[in-house]
A and B are shown apart, each in its own frame.
Chain A
């Protein structure tokens, strides 16, 4: 069964450093998403991406965040200057191109980011 993969599984960084979280969505999917989940809290939508541009973004997704699809397979989330409160699990997801609003989102296993 096809799956979304994410690397690294864990990342520890110093406050103020830049991090790049990587995702490989399912190959025929065209809609991609990033979510975060702070420990003990709910899953929060960050951004959706389609056709090489941001489709929607939340209030959380401010100027320190950016997304990119640098090649045909990877989808990345960059956090430019990390803060302590960025510590969370970051999930990537992708969905089928035909009915993105109705179709299943497949989630990757997540990257646990710890900012010290």
Chain B
């Protein structure tokens, strides 16, 4: 059983496109949710936390659907610098964090 599942991609999109990623999680008791980005051979960096009401940060919008146990990330007006692997992260009830395998995004000129 995978705690967190993501489509590995890659998603190849032109600059300026809108792209969406989904992630599903298995533990209905999970407490908090995050999107991280990871560049090749680098450490994960927090992109945004995901709140029940949904939240937006510039070109990025995150949504949480607890009933269906999925999280989404929408990137508008893609930039070349958005090319990275996007990691869905779920925290269960106990200070233990589960990472998805990541979705690779390639933004092309």
Contacts and interface: CB of A to CB of B under 8 A. Distances in A.
Contacts of B102: 42
B86 to A, nearest CB: 12
Contacts, number: 52
A43 B87 contact: yes
Contact of A48 (B34, B41, B96, B99): B96
B10 to A, nearest CB: 14
Interface residues of B, number: 22
Interface stretch (B11-19, B44-52, B71-79): B44-52
A42 B101 contact: yes
Contacts of A107: 43-45
Interface stretch (A13-21, A50-58, A71-79): A50-58
Contacts of A109: 42-43
B68 to A, nearest CB: 22
B43 A100 contact: no
B43 A105 contact: no
Nearest to B101: A42
A105 B46 contact: yes
A98 interface: no
Nearest to A110: B43
Contacts of A43: 38, 44, 87, 99
Contacts of B38: 43
B49 A91 contact: no
A84 B99 CA distance: 23
Contacts of A56: 94-96
Contact of B43 (A33, A91, A104): A91
Contacts of A35: 99
* 8 shortest interchain CB distances as A-B pairs: A107-B43, A43-B99, A42-B101, A56-B96, A104-B46, A48-B95, A55-B95, A56-B95
28 contacts: A31-B95, A33-B97, A41-B101, A42-B99, A42-B100, A42-B102, A43-B38, A43-B87, A43-B99, A45-B97, A45-B98, A48-B95, A48-B96, A56-B94, A56-B95, A89-B41, A91-B44, A101-B31, A101-B32, A102-B31, A102-B49, A104-B46, A104-B49, A105-B97, A106-B46, A107-B44, A107-B45, A110-B42
